[in-house]
């Protein structure tokens, strides 16, 4: 797909950007993180606009790049029903639940979803909540690792298995150093630039390649 010179340039840009994200996380951790709430729940004062952008930055990721986008390309526009279902569920959550959960979270110092379900339904609800969230996020996180690995494979010709390991290290480090606050603001930037991009072209070329 790319010659050796192009791969060197693209690989250098990609890896440099990953390193830049880690440095930003380190800076946020050193200058903006002072308390437990700063680290775990971004000080509980993130505005609506950054929240929307971090949602977009997270949603337009592995599941779209490796799943819905590819299915839409090969199977047609019927795949948009997935997006319609996600949109309807998101609107219902935003209108009826988010504000109430945030008020309860601030009042009772919730950190996890399990804190909410345990407070609402009793401590026995914490285990099934943890299992369901863990199951969902194993899939979501795995897709993110594979997505980054695919980019490294295409741009720098790094073996996919090694690239998955690199993705795990990079994403884990930037989260550890900067906490949720760093994740939200980095996702906010990504959520701003992603809708205007033409992402997925390289993946489609790779799918169609003989």
Sign of CA dihedral 112, 189, 205, 168: negative
Residue located via tokens 């606050």: 181
Regions of the chain with pLDDT less than 50: 196-210
* Residue 91 in tokens: 């609107």
Rounded to whole angstroms, what are the CA distances from 176 to 45, 79, 141, 179?
20, 36, 15, 6
Q: How many domains does the chain have?
A: 1
Separation of alpha carbons 190 and 57, rounded Å: 5
- pLDDT tens digits, residue range 101-157? 888 888 888 888 888 888 889 889 999 999 998 888 887 788 778 878 888 888 888
Give, in order, the Cα–Cα distances in Å from 155 to each of 3, 5, 149, 195, 210. 10, 11, 10, 21, 18
Give the alpha-carbon dihedral of 157, 146, 53, 89, to 10 degrees. 150
Domain that holds residue 165: 4-208
* pTM recorded for the entire structure: 0.70
Instruction: Decide: 50 and 189 in contact? Cβ < 8 Å.
Output: no
- Residue 37 and residue 43 in contact, taking contact as beta carbons nearer than 8 Å: yes
Which pLDDT score is estimated for 191? Answer: 67
**Rounded CA separation 98/100 (Å):** 6
Give the C-alpha separation, 160 to 170, whole Å. Answer: 15
């Amino acid at each position: 797909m790319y010659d050796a010179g192009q791969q060197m340039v693209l690989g250098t840009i990609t890896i440099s950007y990953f390193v830049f994200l880690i440095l930003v996380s380190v800076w946020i951790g050193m200058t903006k993180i002072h308390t437990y709430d700063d680290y775990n729940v971004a000080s509980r004062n993130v505005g609506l606009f950054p929240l929307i952008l971090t949602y977009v930055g997270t949603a337009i990721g592995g599941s779209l790049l490796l799943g819905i986008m590819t299915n839409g390309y090969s199977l047609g526009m019927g795949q948009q029903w997935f997006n319609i279902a996600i949109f309807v569920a998101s609107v219902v959550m935003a209108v009826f639940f988010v504000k109430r959960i945030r008020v309860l979270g601030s009042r009772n110092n919730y950190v996890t979803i399990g804190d909410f379900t345990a407070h609402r339904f009793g401590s026995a609800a914490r285990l099934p909540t943890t299992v369901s969230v863990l199951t969902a996020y194993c899939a979501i996180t795995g897709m993110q690792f594979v997505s980054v690995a695919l980019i490294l494979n295409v741009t720098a010709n790094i073996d996919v298995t090694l690239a998955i390991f690199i993705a795990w290290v990079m994403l884990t480090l930037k989260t550890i150093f900067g906490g949720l606050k760093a994740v939200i603001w980095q996702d906010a930037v990504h959520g701003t630039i992603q809708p205007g991009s033409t992402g997925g072209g390289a993946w489609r070329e790779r799918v169609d390649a003989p």
